[in-house]
Amino acid sequence: MKQSLYIGKLAGIKIELHYSWFFIFLLVAWGLASGFFPAHYKVGLLGAWFLGAFASFLLFISILLHEVAHSIVAKQHRIPVHKITLFFFGGVASIGKGKLTPKKEFEMAIAGPLFSILLSLLFFIIYKSVSFLYVNALAFYLYKINLIVALFNLAPGFPLDGGRILRAILWYFYKDIVKATRIASFCGKVFAGILVIGGFIGLFFGGFGLWFIVLGFFLYMVAEAGYEQTVVSALLNGIKVCDLLTKKIYCIDANRTLDELSRAFITLRKETLLVFDKKKYLGVARILDLMNVKKERWAKTKVKEITRKISPVKFETKIDSVFLKMLRYGIDSIPVVKDKRLIGTVEREAIIKFLRLKQILGRNLK
**HSE (side-chain half, CA atoms, 13 Å) at 1:** 4
Name the average pLDDT for the chain: 88
Domain ranges of the chain: 1-154, 156-235, 241-361
Average pLDDT (191-214) is 84
- At 234 the pLDDT is 82
Where does the pLDDT of residue 364 fall: very low under 50, low under 70, confident under 90, or very high at 90 and above?
Answer: low
In eight-state DSSP terms, residue 241 is: G
What does the pLDDT read at residue 163?
93
Please answer whether residues 83 and 16 qualify as being in contact, where contact means their C-beta atoms are separated by less than 8 angstroms: yes
Q: What is the tens place of the pLDDT at every residue in 286-315?
A: 998 899 899 999 999 999 999 999 889 998
Name the DSSP letter for residue 293.
Answer: S
Give the model's pLDDT for residue 2. Answer: 65
Query: Is the CB of residue 250 less than 8 Å from the CB of residue 270?
Result: yes
Rounded to whole angstroms, the Cα distance separating 171 from 103 reads 9
Q: Which CATH class is domain 241-361?
A: alpha beta
123-159: burial string, b at 16+ Cβ within 10 Å, e else:
bbebbeeeeeeeebbbbbbbbebbbebbebbbbbbbb
| Half-sphere exposure at residue 263, Cβ-oriented, CA atoms within 13 angstroms | 6
User: In the predicted model, is pLDDT for residue 55 greater than 90?
Assistant: yes
Read off the pLDDT of each residue in 241-264 and give the average, rounded to a whole number: 91
